[in-house]
Structure 1
Amino acid sequence: MLKNIVQYILINYYNYLMNSNENKAYLWEKCITEGIFNNIHKEKASSVQGIFENVIADFLKLNTTDKLDVINIKIIQKLKEEINKTNSFEETQKSYDELLNKPNPPKINFSDVKDEPIKNLDKLLEQTQDSRKDIFKPNVQVDWGKIIKNQNDILIKILETQNTIIGLLKK
């Protein structure tokens, strides 16, 4: 019975310390120094404060007899998790919104546009023909017989050199 009373007193004492403004200020400062709030937009500050209060309230419900230092470490870890969940949810929501809100294609103009007469038609035709001449140049005839003869001569010289080396090695 005495043990239960002591435990009850400890739980209430640690809950009082955990919920105190001094401890909340300490936790808030610790979150700032650890960079937990670095990726938070200013307009989301109130939701972060709500998450902060909810995490502390959740730990108050646990009725733990752990020391305040241990509880504070657990609170900071839980805050990191909750804020990361919020950030990842917002990023996912933003990407879905971007996918769903495709821009409308530009309006098509079906009105008749006056065509201007082509000037210098002869010059344009001549330029087009000149560019096509460059594309379709006639193939240059290659004398394959001469190329094959040169390669055969080189192979014969290589074989003669190898035969000479083999003959010298046999001696």
Structure 2
Amino acid sequence: MKLIVGLGNPGSQYKFTRHNAGFLAVDEIAKKLNVNFKSSKFNGEIAKSDDIILGKPSTFMNKSGLFVSQVANFYKIHPDDIMIIHDEKDLDLGKSVIKVGGSGGSHNGVIDVITQLGSRDFKRLKIGINSPERKGELKNFVLGNFTATEFTILQEVIQKAAEASVLFGFTDILTIMNKYNAKK
């Protein structure tokens, strides 16, 4: 069993913000797997297929780790079988990167996942949100909505991210990384 969690903030006011790229991606994965999210006892929503559990924490971004660790512990999922999908401010909009391990950098949601899991050994699918239109404070940027043009670009990346994530259920990560991290 694999666990794929999209990071984001709960509430309709955040639905299309840059910080919710992870939620948008797992929503697309759920469509591809033909599963629906349901509230769970883990402070979030889960959707299950035969091989993959999808998750969306109902806590705010910076407290996402508790949800991830609770679901992983309950279903006995090792960190190596977990993929976290999140926005990445240092990656250009239109790009995505799959990575294994490492630090959380300046992403507080990922840092909390590392802290709560007690491991860095999970996979990450980073969705780029950096834009030439980025101005002002980082907080305002990540909590701002995508422009119409940005959202069109994001949709293409989310499709690619969803394809890669579905493969994570039954394909080794190096094969997925070689296919989806390739420079085009």
Q: Which bin holds the TM-score, normalised by the shorter protein?
A: under 0.3
Q: Of Structure 1 and Structure 2, which has the larger fraction of its residues in helix?
A: 1
Q: Of Structure 1 and Structure 2, which has the larger fraction of its residues in strand?
A: 2
Larger Rg: 1
